[in-house]
Chains A and B, each alone.
Chain A
Amino acid sequence: MFKTVAVALSATLLAGAASAGDISGAGATFPAPIYAKWAEAYKAQTGIGLNYQAIGSGGGIKQITAKTVAFGATDKPMTDEELNKIGLMQFPSVMGGILPVVNLPGVQPGQMKLTGEIIADIFLGKITKWNDPRIAAINPGVRIPNWPVTVVHRSDGSGTTYVWTSYLSVKSAEWKSKIGAATDVKWAVGQGGKGNDGIAAVVKQTPGSIGYVEYVFAHANKLTHTQVQDHDGAFIQPEMETFQNAAARASFKAPGFATSLLDQPGNSWPITSPTYILVYKNQTNDDGAAVLSFFDWAYKNGDNLARQLDYVPLPANAKSAIRAAWSANITKGGKPVYVSK
């Protein structure tokens, strides 16, 4: 009796071990929850396990370069030149929005209005009081306390910081020349918090502070977000619709698919960004096909799961462009490793 149970148990364990973790990926922290969600549903349907671990975008690039994983993931897109040098193809998987959050008692979530230029000057340390005339001018009727501004930024290197500083670089020439855009920059003013959660905690604990977090964190922590002026001059709210508008007209193009969704026209949330997957063009085993079939499955079946976790799915035109690029670029022995049906 015991023997049969033991044999059956070890057989299932072995089978589980054999299929589990067949494909490994590593990289960006931002998309880790949705990849886990997709992987769980994908395994339930197909029995194939895809193990993704969040070690940071820089780590994702280093690991795919060192060929320790089947795919890498990064929030900061690699340039075409960098991709060609290593022989990688890059494509977006999903998108997300980033929002400014403030701690000003009396100010309701979504009530206060800010422009990219004002945010840049706050983060440059040029606007130091909340009752600055430029802020008051676009916020008639909002009672803003006469407090000093405390800037809260990420202390760890992060894709979120890359998108945020890229946006400020688009809106402010001074920001672009003095600070620039990167996963970690030399901040002009302010305090660091570790991770989205760290920023949320410091903002909550510091009256008069302003920080930036991913949409899902503002949502979960009930932080006071602000409206931001879009490319057409209108003040808009951060929500699924305005995030998706940002991607609707974007031109995702092979080979890198690196495109800026920042400050787009047409009621688009100005701080929206995709996150990317990195795969070798020239495949030597079946891992590449497994990775592509997973993401093809996610494009077809994963949109609702993404929305459920506050991620923004890719528009249909982008998905078909990516599928076409897979067939053309990712090959094994000269033949495409995966063709979407």
Chain B
Amino acid sequence: MAVLDRRNRRQIANTAFVTFSTTAAVIAISALTAILYSLLVKGVSGLNLDIFLLSTPAPMSQGGLANAIVGSLMLCGVAMVGAVIVGVLAGTFLAEYSGLSPALNAYGSVVRFLNDVLLSAPSILIGLFVYYIAVKPVHGFNGWAGALALGLIAAPVVTRTTEDVLKLQAKQLRESGVALGAPMWVTIQKVLWRASSGGILTGALLAFARISGETAPLLFTSLGNQFMNFDMSKPISNLPAVIFQFGLSAYDDWQRLAWVGALLIAFAVLSINILVRVLSQEQKRS
């Protein structure tokens, strides 16, 4: 009897757990559906070719979001390249090298701790800091400063996830590299990074998702631009700031553009996400 009781209890606990997990997933999916629904309803009706061809208009003029799209692509692109390089290297340092000696270990702990602090820095303060080092000295707002601010937000995310997934790789993987006579840096590159690519990608995607919607750090760095601009040394437009300005305005046509912009960002995150997953899948197969 006692055995049966225990089995029953275990069964009930398990059912409760399964129900809980499924409910959690359902809650998340419904929240997403609710938000995406508003995005689609308000965004899709404003979608047309002009969005991609014309620059942001004044109220009651014809226009699109071309300058903001180009600006956001340039800013996020530069920021992500920098953030992935710095983040993966720093994450590798924390996971693979910080155990080599007591000194490195201590340094690693400090970096790890401060990286977590950097993760939670309000983005507006990062923007402010970049303003002091990359805008004020050159007497002009510029795209580079905006990319730097975004990069500083993205890098700790990449660092964090890289370290986490590297640490979870089995010891045998490392030993196999050494056993083959490969130097450590080759082992890291060829074996560990490859084995962790899924996790690192997830980190990079989360980082991209985070910076793609950031308004505050760009306000004092790349400023924004009403017109098309490809010059990173000048003020450059970006989608989140346009969404922010247009979404809070009184003009219907501006509000419509704001929702289209929000939809575009969500769509960009989605498609890059899928693209990267597919690519990494193919890589694994080959």
Contacts and interface: CB of A to CB of B under 8 A. Distances in A.
Contact of B141 (A49, A69, A196): A69
Contacts of B249: 33, 197
B261 to A, nearest CB: 16
Contact of B231 (A17, A32, A49, A197): A17
A52 B228 CA distance: 13
Given A55-B219, A55-B220, A220-B250, A36 B141 contact: no
B130 to A, nearest CB: 13
Interface string A210-222: 0000101101110
Given A66-B136, A68-B140, A17 B229 contact: yes
A21 B225 contact: yes
Interface-centre pick from B60, B219, B226, B249 (highest chain A CB count, 10 A):
B226
A196 B250 contact: yes
A297 to B, nearest CB: 15
Contacts of B254: 33
Interface in A17-72: 17, 20-21, 24, 26, 32-33, 36-41, 43, 49, 51-55, 59, 66-69
Interface in B156-184: none
A309 B223 contact: no
B64 interface: no
B255 to A, nearest CB: 9
Nearest to A14: B230
28 contacts: A17-B229, A20-B225, A20-B227, A20-B229, A20-B234, A21-B225, A21-B231, A24-B141, A26-B141, A33-B249, A37-B58, A40-B57, A40-B61, A40-B226, A41-B58, A49-B226, A51-B225, A51-B235, A53-B224, A53-B241, A55-B223, A67-B139, A68-B135, A69-B141, A196-B248, A197-B250, A220-B252, A309-B60
What 9 A-B pairs have minimum CB-CB distances, sorted nearest first? Answer: A37-B58, A220-B250, A20-B227, A36-B58, A53-B224, A40-B58, A216-B250, A217-B250, A195-B248
Interface of A: 13, 16-17, 20-21, 24, 26, 32-33, 36-41, 43, 49, 51-55, 59, 66-69, 194-198, 214, 216-217, 219-221, 308-310
Interface of B: 56-61, 135-136, 139-141, 219-220, 223-231, 234-235, 241, 245, 247-252, 254
